[in-house]
């Protein structure tokens, strides 16, 4: 499976070199692409240095800070155009442990359309989170699951493997959200298409170096989008149709009918 690991960055100079080195040891054959949105702290130089040392690493420099969702869509388009079979999403700040990659990639290779590194299934954890933050993240996920009919415990998670066909099946131009909303929107589209999603437990570590880029705006955006999609599903009966489609037995195949 030709794999492209996409790492979005904005001012991650203190993290990126080590992260790239750890990804390389965990997935030695994967290519890596750093999508950097105008870092001013020397992130790009670190990427280029590491690329020279390790090879199979490239930098996609972008002229403005367009958000996490936009950075991933950019990376996905390039990866699809270049014929990769699988694409990985991973944060640069060491919150996601590259040592989880082999099992996630193995599942994708076995045909799972979307593999999610999940904090909220047995074996997953977020050590050291304040009660308020954990509450917001847990209930944000529960709200998304209820409103959108997702049987997924961590739809906001940003550590993922997509098979290329999954990304090809989704109209990336229609995906609008950023941050957590982007992750939920992508999950929602994958489920809507009836594709296979599996959650793998991960331990999510808080960033030690660098600053968080997720602001209140991104949480509010996610909340509004979930509410809008959920209500629109309800009024258009889309959710009911989706559930019926996913639970009803498959139609007899044309050849089966011909043989009868």
State the minimum distance, in angstroms, from the CB of residue 187 to Mg ion. 18
Span of 2-10, 22-30, 220-228, 248-256 interacting with ligand GTP by CB under 6 A? 2-10
The answer to whether 222 contacts ligand GTP (rule: CB under 6 A) is no
What does 114 bind: ligand GTP, Mg ion, none (CB cut-off 5 to 8 Å by kind)?
none
Q: Which residues bind Mg ion (CB under 5 A)?
A: 91, 93, 95, 207
Antiparallel, parallel or unpaired: β 114-118 and 197-201: parallel
Instruction: Copy the structure tokens of residue 66.
Output: 């367009």
State the minimum distance, in angstroms, from the CB of residue 189 to ligand GTP. 20
Q: Phi, psi at residue 193, to the nearest 5°?
A: -80, -5
The answer to whether 213 contacts ligand GTP (rule: CB under 6 A) is yes
Instruction: Copy the structure tokens of residue 95.
Output: 């919150």
Span of 7-15, 22-30, 144-152, 161-169 interacting with ligand GTP by CB under 6 A? 7-15
Task: Rank residues 196 and 205 by Cβ distance to ligand GTP and give the closer one.
Answer: 205
> 3-class DSSP state for residue 174?
helix
Task: Rank residues 39 and 153 by Cβ distance to ligand GTP and give the closer one.
Answer: 39
The answer to whether 118 contacts ligand GTP (rule: CB under 6 A) is no
State the minimum distance, in angstroms, from the CB of residue 96 to Mg ion. 9
What does 10 bind: Mg ion, ligand GTP, none (CB cut-off 5 to 8 Å by kind)?
ligand GTP
Nearest residue to Mg ion, by Cβ distance, number only: 93
Instruction: Copy the structure tokens of residue 12.
Output: 């991650």
Nearest residue to ligand GTP, by Cβ distance, number only: 212
Task: Rank residues 62 and 242 by Cβ distance to ligand GTP and give the closer one.
Answer: 62
> What would the 3-class secondary structure string for 61-97 be?
EECCCCCHHHHHHHHHHHHHHCCCCEEEECCCCCCCC
Query: Between helices 101-109 and 16-26, what is the axis angle to 10°?
Result: 50
Q: What is the DSSP letter of 125?
A: B
Q: Where are the alpha helices (DSSP H) in the chain?
A: 16-26, 43-54, 68-81, 101-109, 131-148, 164-169, 179-192, 216-236, 238-247, 254-259
**Contacts to ligand GTP from residues 31-60, by CB under 6 A:** 35-37
Determine the straight-line distance between the first and last CA of the chain, rounded to whole angstroms: 40
Task: Rank residues 137 and 166 by Cβ distance to Mg ion and give the closer one.
Answer: 137
Instruction: Copy the structure tokens of residue 246.
Output: 């996913």
CB contact at 8 A, 76 and 175: no
Task: Rank residues 82 and 206 by Cβ distance to ligand GTP and give the closer one.
Answer: 206
The answer to whether 107 contacts ligand GTP (rule: CB under 6 A) is no
Task: Give the integer Cα–Cα distance in Å for 43 and 9.
Answer: 8
What does 67 bind: Mg ion, ligand GTP, none (CB cut-off 5 to 8 Å by kind)?
ligand GTP
What is the contact surface with ligand GTP in residues (CB under 6 A)? Answer: 8-10, 12, 35-37, 65-68, 71, 91-93, 95, 207, 212-214
């Amino acid at each position: 499976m030709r794999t492209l690991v996409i790492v979005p960055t904005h001012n991650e100079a203190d993290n990126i070199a080590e992260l790239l080195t750890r990804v390389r040891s965990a997935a030695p054959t994967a290519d890596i692409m750093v999508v950097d949105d105008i870092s001013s702290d020397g992130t790009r130089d670190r990427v280029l240095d590491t690329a020279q040392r390790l090879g199979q690493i490239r930098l996609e420099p972008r002229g403005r800070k367009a958000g996490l969702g936009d950075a991933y869509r950019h990376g996905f388009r390039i990866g699809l155009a270049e014929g990769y079979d699988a694409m990985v999403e991973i944060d640069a700040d060491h919150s996601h442990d590259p040592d989880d990659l082999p099992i996630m990639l193995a599942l994708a290779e076995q045909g799972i359309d979307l593999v999610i590194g999940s904090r909220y299934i047995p074996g997953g954890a977020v050590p050291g989170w304040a009660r308020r933050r954990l509450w917001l993240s847990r209930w944000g996920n529960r709200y998304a699951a209820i409103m959108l009919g997702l049987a997924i415990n961590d739809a906001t998670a940003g550590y993922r493997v997509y098979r290329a066909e999954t990304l090809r099946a989704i109209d990336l131009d229609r995906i609008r959200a950023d941050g957590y909303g982007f992750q939920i929107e992508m999950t929602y589209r994958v489920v809507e298409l009836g594709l296979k999603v599996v959650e793998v437990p991960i331990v999510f570590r808080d960033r030690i170096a660098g600053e968080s880029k997720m602001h209140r705006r991104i949480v509010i955006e996610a909340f509004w989008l979930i509410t809008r999609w959920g209500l629109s599903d309800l009024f258009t009966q889309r959710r009911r149709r989706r559930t019926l489609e996913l639970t009803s037995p498959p139609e007899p195949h044309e050849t089966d009918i011909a043989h009868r």
